[in-house]
Chains A and B, each alone.
Chain A
Amino acid sequence: MSEEGTRVSRRKLFGLAGAGVALAGAGAAAGIGIDKATSGNAEASVTTVDFHGEHQAGIVTPAQANLHFAALDVTTKDREKLRQLLKTWTDAARRMTAGQEVVPNGAVGSGDYAPPGDTGEALDLPASHLTLTIGFGPSLFDGRFGLAGKRPPQLIDLPLFPKDKLDPARGGGDLCIQACADDPQVAVHAVRNLVRLGFGVTEVRWSQLGFGRSSSTSREQQTPRNLFGFKDGTNNIKSEDTDFLRDQVWATAADGQAWMAGGSYLVARRIRMHIETWDRETLDGQQQIVGRTKGTGAPLGQTAEFDELDLDVGGAGGEPLIPADAHVRLASHQALNGVRILRRGYNFVDGSDGVGHLEAGLFFLAFNRDTRKQYVPMQQALSSKDAMMEYVQHTGSAHFAVPPGVSRTGYWGEGLFA
């Protein structure tokens, strides 16, 4: 740890001049720069993700390995306090995503008789690609803060889907913070410090740790596997798919609320997986349920992972090779009139369930332009028909409007309070 406890910002702007996410060319996909910097006398290689830009980071940013997601409720009735907190949070997020402490010299330089201004557990750690992404839940627009007229029509209260078994303690929220980083400690540090700054204005409603990103959001990344052992996200929207992003992820002013232009809508679902019964299913059975082969991830009837699904291929007796109730069929854009979503989920194991099993599953996160037309019809089809529903149960659910990105002088959600 360096003597003065100060960590210099090692972010280089990478020539994006505030344009944020430049979707031209892999690598630059989310404004990632790799800097060589000297801190103390050891040379460190640090990666930061630019906090500023047209869109918030943490959406098309190549998915980091770890997640800490927190949903919060606003406890104050004072609109101005909430607005000030968003400013405070934005400043803290600017610093933390750049690899700095929450406040300069906060961990050890606040004086011996004051609690440290930074909790300290990320002191010697690099920025670790930390991204912080904020969202506003439907309940924030209930009238407490004069925001009822600002609620976007896309920000619906999610319907109850067939077979949902929702735990109220794991759902909803006035606000959310999604922290993603290469190092779980960095993500937790970020959420913890924002929560700390919010006492008196906000409190945590629920939170979720996730590991092993279960989706790839860039062609640079290998498709990861979920806890069923299958590649997940082969067909995901990638940061290089600029047309899909424009049409299916980013909101525009014309969509209904001008303050949301450049934003998106985040659906969070905590999906418990019954991994023990899944593990007793035969390989053939597992592949029939998913609609892909377990080894390469190729769709049934095809040879390689990225081969296009062909839903019209039949095998013996003309039975479709990808069964009528296979997960990939029901979730495919071919079956949903071209609808796609950008998935950014994580695996979780939250201890055990008290009756001898691991409390494991997928924390599903998805960004889309209009949840009413994209996520909802997709999930209705899956909840009703997906063979995989025998092995999964949705236990938590939340929906957030994710405002656009922040300029160098702006703050999170400023358009909402304009």
Chain B
Amino acid sequence: MSVRKSPRTPLAVVAGAAALVALTACDSQGSTGNETAAAGGPIKVEATDTACTVSATTAGAGNVTFEITNKGTKVTEFYLYAEGDRIVGEVENIAPGLNRRLIVEVADAGKYQTACKPGMAGDGIRGEFTVTGGAAKQGDANAQKAQATKSYAGYVANNTAALEEETGKFVDLVKAGKVDEAKAAYARTRTYYERIEPVAEKFGDLDPAIDVREADLEPGQQFTGFHRLEKDLFVSGLQADSPQIADKLLTDVKDLVAKSKTFELTALDLANGAKGLLDEVATGKITGEEETFSHTDLWDFQANVDGSKGAITSLRPLLQERDAALVSTLDKEFANVQGLLDKTRAGEGFKLYNELSQDQVKEFASAVDALSEPLSKVAEVVSK
């Protein structure tokens, strides 16, 4: 299923990105949430069309709050830059007369620059800003994480290559009007897509074009991709525009494959992807919603499990070192789900989903829940 999981802002622990987390991230402990941003209160910034007056040019590391007032006649912006003009925080669209607030978490001591941009253009009116104290820089020198992402990149590359090849064959069958052969190839082709869905979902426009379900179409959105051809093959018969839909599918898949080669994932992406794939199973496959015309949900189910396992396999050395008990739990629960899937094998593939009894569906749901719970703990172990 095409669900857009937008790349979430990485946690502050990843790649030294001083991700801005709101002040109250620690509020789950039940604090009042009334922490002051900085010892001296907010830093006042007076922006005009020609000046950018900052009431303090130093601050301690941690949360720094700027209160910006636009006293000019043009709409302005305010930025805090780290070295090399890396944006640490910014606020746009400050209309004349308005007060706006920017709270930034600055973890590292060092030289920064403030900037007001009257007219919202150009390099702005710069000022030096110094941050003192602070934690030692969180290096990303974690070789295990680098190894994990490299290994998973290999897994993705294998599957995208296969996806491109199999989609080519499938599209040829559709265009040749070989309905039975195309039906036989359909689920097998999708396997390679479903395995790498967390990667596919990083491409917000391609994923829906390739994998949108009819029930999820937005007003004015054309029904394209795998599920459109699924409907043609399994329900309504090939349509006049089926060949064009097939061509577009191949074009989109090739585009996705090319883009995935340049895409960098973090170890945390792997952890979240492993969990996300099982969420897909829980909300889409268990209900039989994904393959509503062909009922080949179990092929997708298996592929989602494969993909999840692929990500965990890449993270395995890291997890083994940090939480061996979690690894053995995951092994056990993956094996349990796989055992149930194996029971539904038929010929080259699986039974159709509408052939399963309600008891079997329930058994799957329970096994998926049992696996998803420990999977949801992987991200935290990785982020330590």
Contacts and interface: CB of A to CB of B under 8 A. Distances in A.
Interface of A: 159, 162-165, 274, 276-277, 279-285, 287-288, 293-296, 298, 300-304, 310, 312-319, 321, 323-325, 354-357, 380, 383-385, 387, 389-390
List the 5 closest pairs (A to B, CB-CB), nearest first. A295-B27, A315-B20, A280-B376, A296-B33, A355-B365
B373 interface: yes
Nearest to B217: A162
A363 B28 CA distance: 26
Contacts of B100: 310, 312-313
Contacts of B376: 279-281
Contacts of B375: 280
Contacts of A384: 218
A303 B92 CA distance: 18
B27 A277 contact: no
B362 to A, nearest CB: 5
Contact of B33 (A165, A295, A380): A295
Given A284-B25, A317-B86, A324-B6, A354 B358 contact: yes
Nearest to A281: B376
B232 interface: no
A317 B79 CA distance: 11
A355 B11 contact: no
Contacts of B157: none
A288 B272 CA distance: 14
Given A294-B27, A310-B100, A354-B362, A301 B22 contact: yes
Contacts of B87: 314, 316-318
B19 A277 contact: no
Contact of A314 (B21, B86, B90): B90
B9 interface: yes
- A159, A293, A316 pick with most chain B CB within 10 angstroms: A316
- Identify which of A312, A315, A323, A390 gathers the most chain B CB atoms within 10 Å of its CB: A315
Nearest to B16: A316
B131 interface: no
B282 interface: yes
A318 B282 CA distance: 35
A123 B372 CA distance: 49
B341 interface: no
Contacts of A387: 4-6
Contacts of B101: 301-302, 310, 313
B329 to A, nearest CB: 14
Contact of B8 (A163, A285, A312, A321): A285
Given A293-B25, A317-B17, A323-B8, A356 B88 contact: no
Interface hub of B100, B103, B221 (most chain A Cβ within 10 A): B103
A163 B100 CA distance: 37
B365 A357 contact: yes
B27 A296 contact: yes
Nearest to A289: B8
A94 B369 CA distance: 49
A230 to B, nearest CB: 12
A372 to B, nearest CB: 14
Nearest to A313: B91
A274 B365 CA distance: 13
Contact of B9 (A288, A325, A355, A380): A288
The B contact surface, by secondary structure, is: mixed
Contacts of B28: 283, 294-295
Interface of B: 3-6, 8-9, 11, 17-28, 30-31, 33-34, 37, 86-94, 100-104, 215-219, 221, 272, 275, 279, 282-283, 286, 289, 358, 361-362, 365-366, 369, 372-373, 375-376, 379-380
A236 to B, nearest CB: 20
Contact of B366 (A281, A283, A313, A356): A356
A162 B3 CA distance: 12
A325 B3 CA distance: 12
A303 B362 contact: no
14 contacts: A162-B216, A276-B369, A280-B275, A282-B380, A283-B25, A284-B8, A294-B27, A296-B24, A298-B22, A298-B33, A313-B89, A314-B90, A325-B6, A355-B365
Nearest to B4: A325
Nearest to A387: B6
B373 to A, nearest CB: 7
Contacts of B4: 325, 385, 387
Contacts of B94: 312
A277 B31 contact: no
Contacts of A302: 22, 101, 103
Nearest to B23: A303
Contacts of A315: 9, 19-20, 88-89, 104
Contact of B372 (A165, A280, A294, A321): A280
A277 B90 CA distance: 33
Contacts of B89: 313-316
B365 A356 contact: yes
Contacts of A312: 91-94, 100
Contacts of A317: 17, 86-87
Nearest to B30: A295
Contact of B22 (A280, A300, A324, A383): A300
Nearest to A164: B215
Given A310-B91, A355-B362, 13 more contacts: A162-B219, A282-B379, A293-B24, A295-B24, A301-B101, A302-B22, A303-B33, A303-B34, A310-B101, A315-B9, A315-B104, A380-B219, A390-B3
A84 B283 CA distance: 47
Contacts of B22: 287, 293, 298, 300-303, 321
B79 to A, nearest CB: 8
Nearest to A326: B6
Contacts of B361: 355
A284 B11 contact: yes
B254 to A, nearest CB: 26
A367 B38 CA distance: 42
Nearest to B105: A315
Given A315-B104, A355-B365, A387-B6, A321 B20 contact: yes
Nearest to B26: A295
Contacts of B379: 282
A301 B365 contact: no
A313 B218 contact: no
Contacts of A319: 9
Contacts of B217: 162
Q: Give the residue among A280, A296, A384 with the most B Cβ atoms within 10 A.
A: A280
A316 B89 CA distance: 6
Contacts of A389: 3
A389 to B, nearest CB: 8
A313 B80 CA distance: 12
Contacts of A316: 9, 17-20, 86-89
